[in-house]
Chain A
Amino acid sequence: MASISGLTRRLRGFAALPNEVAALREEMAALRETVDPMNHVILTLVPAIHHTVALLSHDVHTGSEEALPLFVGYAERLRLDADTAIGAAQVIERQLSELEHTIATLRRDG
Chain B
Amino acid sequence: MADLPHLLVDARPVNHPTARNRGIGRYTIGLLGGLQQVGAPVVALYETDAEATLLADAVPGLALQRWSPAAVRRCTEPGSWFLATQLMLHPIPLDPVPRIITEAGLPVAAVMYDVIPERHPAQYQLRPTARAQVQLRGMLTRTLDALLAISQFAADTAAHELRFPRDRIVTIGAGVEQQFAPATSDPWPRLRGVLAADGRGVVLMVSGADTRKNTERLLRAWGLVPAAVRAAQRLVVVGAVDDTLRWQWQQWAAEAGVTDDVAFTGGVTDDEMVALHQAAALAVMPSTEEGFGLPVLEAAACGCAVITSNVSSLPEVLAEPAAEFDPFDIASMAAAIERALTDAEHRTVLLAAARRAVQRWTWANTGRAVVAALEALGPRQPRVLRPVAHRLALAGRFDDSPIGVANTSLADAIGSRPGAPEVHLLVDNAGTDNPTNSGPQRFPIRALGRFVHPSLFDHIITLSALDLSSGDAELDATALLEWLERGERAVD
- Which residues of A approach B to under 8 Å, CB–CB? 36-37, 40, 43-44, 46-48, 50-51, 77, 80-81, 83-84, 86-88, 90-91, 93-95, 97-98, 101-102, 104-105
Contact = CB atoms under 8 A, between A and B. Distances in A.
B136 A87 contact: yes
A91 B87 CA distance: 12
A83 B440 contact: no
B450 A87 contact: no
Contacts of B332: none
> Interface centre among A37, A94, A105, by most B CB within 10 Å?
A94
A105 B382 contact: yes
- SS class of chain B's interface: helix, strand, loop or mixed? loop
A83 B136 CA distance: 12
Nearest to A81: B129
Contacts of A43: 443, 447, 451-452
B443 A51 contact: no
Contacts of A77: 129
Contacts of A37: 440
B139 interface: yes
A82 B134 CA distance: 15
A47 B133 contact: no
Contacts of B444: 44, 47-48
Nearest to B104: A97
Given A94-B97, A94-B140, A104-B384, A87 B446 contact: no
A51 B105 CA distance: 34
B420 interface: no
Given A44-B442, A87-B90, A87-B93, 13 more contacts: A47-B447, A83-B91, A83-B92, A86-B91, A87-B91, A90-B93, A97-B143, A98-B381, A101-B381, A101-B383, A105-B381, A105-B382, A105-B384
28 contacts: A37-B440, A40-B440, A43-B447, A44-B438, A44-B444, A47-B446, A47-B450, A50-B446, A77-B129, A80-B129, A84-B136, A86-B451, A87-B91, A87-B92, A87-B93, A87-B136, A88-B91, A88-B132, A90-B93, A90-B99, A91-B136, A93-B99, A93-B102, A94-B140, A95-B143, A97-B105, A101-B105, A101-B382
Contacts of B96: 90
Interface in B76-116: 90-93, 95-97, 99, 102-103, 105
B91 A90 contact: yes
A3 to B, nearest CB: 14
A4 to B, nearest CB: 10
A104 B384 CA distance: 7
Nearest to B95: A90
Contacts of A50: 446
A44 B93 CA distance: 14
Interface in B130-149: 132-133, 136, 139-140, 143
Contact of A94 (B143, B443, B446, B447): B143
Contact of B437 (A44, A46, A102, A105): A44
A9 B472 CA distance: 54
Contacts of A102: 381
Nearest to A102: B381
Contacts of B99: 90, 93
A40 B382 CA distance: 29
Contacts of B437: 44
Contacts of B447: 43-44, 46-47
B140 A90 contact: yes
